[in-house]
Each structure stands twice: as C-alpha cells, then as structure tokens.
Amino acid sequence: SQGCTIFDTVKVSVTAAPTLAINGGASGASLAICSGSSVTLRASNGTTPYIWSPATGLSSTTGDSVVASPTVPTTYTVPSITGSCVSTATVTVVVNPRPTLTFPALSALCANSPAVTLGATPSGGTYSGTGVSGIVFNPAIAGVGSHTITYSFTDANGCSNTINRTITVNPLPSGTAGSDLTICAGQSTVLSASGGSNYQWTALNGNTVLSTSASVVVSPTSTSRYVVRIANSQGCAIFD
C-alpha cells in the first residue's frame, strides 16, 4: 500500500495427457465382427487400471485386455489418468449380420436315379457331403441310406453361415424275371417275376402292357423277349 514492489515467479508444468490406443489404433476407430462372434480389445499407452464402459457385451470391465461380444453396434470407452490428466479412447464394435441361407427340402431318390443339382441360395457357396461334387448330388455314389448335405456361404463382410439338409437314397428291388425258357411251337408258358411289390410286363421294344401282375401268360409264335419292370414300395424300379 506504500507503493513498494517485489517480484516472484510461479512455474506451471504441463504434463502431456497419455495418448491411449486400442488394438494399436487411434481413438475413434471401428472394428467389425459377425453376429455371434467376439473381438479382443487391448488398451495401451496409458496407465492402469483401465476401466471399460459400457459393460454390455464385455467379458470384464477392468484390465488392459477384454473380450467384446456385443449383439448390436456398441462404442466402448476406456480412460487413462496420469496425475491430474485424463485421456479417453473409444472404439466402436460394428456387428454385421450373418447371411440368411435357404436350402429347399430334398426329395428321396432311388439308388439308380440321375444326379440332381442342388439349389441353396444365395448361390456361390460350397456344398459338402457324401455323394456331392460341386453343386451336384449323385445317389449312385452316395449309396443307400440317409445323407446330410451341408451348404456353407461367406458374404462380402466375411460373415459365414451354414445350413443342412438330409436326403434319403432308397434301395432298388432285388427282383428277377426268372430264367430263359424254351417252349414248342403253339404252346403257352407262364413268365413269373419276383422281388417287388409292383410289376409291369411288356414285349421287348413294345409299348403294350401285357400284365401288371407278377406273372403273365405268353404264346409267342417265334423266339421273343419280354421285359418286366419290378418296383418296390419306395417306387424304385429295375428292369429285367
């Protein structure tokens, strides 16, 4: 108050806030996972303890490394304190859906049926299973029985999905038309087939059905050949 003056100094030290990193990247980065998957989040360049938030989808809220398994896109935050300085890093985990697959039901086939083309969608995936080659299922290669065919598909986001279908290959009847016969001119004879549940007799290279029974009476005027279609209860047939 008398106008006398002195000088003094004060030092202000600036402590740099820690530059936090998550998975080695800068704050604000995004990581993508597929629905049902998880990703490990690793904090570095800060001071422990690391405390993560929100807790939704996290294996733990503390630690430099946690596993995130969110079901929807979620932004996680982790702070670091050095003295009175606080730094915060964030990372957003984006959840991509897995592709939706359709695979029509497969009808039963016979062991001698032709190969069938498989038709799951979206196209461009991979089929696997016994009797499968590329996009074709061959019952002759698969053999009699029940077989599982798996279709796997990966989309542009790297998310994959699989779908299974079962197909049945039915056996062929073990039937026969019997042995060749010799008769005298003017005579008749009975041809008898066995081994099936349904029969159809015709002359070789003929279209006329002679009988739909296991047996048929024939009276050829010259040496002739006859064909029988023998089918089982699954509708599978052979010719003899």
pLDDT in tens, 119-130: 999 999 999 999
Report the distance separating Cα 173 and Cα 76, nearest Å: 66
- Report residue 131's pLDDT band, with 50, 70 and 90 as the boundaries: very high
Percentages (nearest 5) of helix, strand, coil residues in the chain? 0, 45, 55
pLDDT of res. 19: 79
**Among the listed ranges 65-69, 169-173, 176-180, which one has the minimum average pLDDT value?**
176-180
β 21-22/39-44 pair status? antiparallel
Q: Residue 218 in contact with residue 210, Cβ under 8 Å?
A: yes
pLDDT of res. 41: 96
pLDDT in tens, 62-121: 999 999 999 999 999 999 877 677 888 999 999 999 999 999 999 999 999 999 999 999
pLDDT of res. 80: 84
- Report residue 220's pLDDT band, with 50, 70 and 90 as the boundaries: very high
- Report residue 232's pLDDT band, with 50, 70 and 90 as the boundaries: very high
**Among the listed ranges 78-92, 132-146, 201-215, which one has the minimum average pLDDT value?**
78-92
Instruction: From 85, 102, 105, 71, select the one nearest 19 (Cα to Cα).
Output: 85
Mean pLDDT across the stretch 178-205?
92
pLDDT of res. 111: 96
Give the DSSP letter string of 108-163: -EETTSPPEE---BSSS-EEESTTEETTEE-HHHH-SEEEEEEEEEE-TTS-EEEE
pLDDT of res. 1: 78
- Work out the mean pLDDT of the chain and round it to a whole number: 93
Q: Is the pTM of this model over 0.85?
A: no
Q: Which two tokens stand for residue 71?
A: 């079901």
Report the distance separating Cα 210 and Cα 221, nearest Å: 16
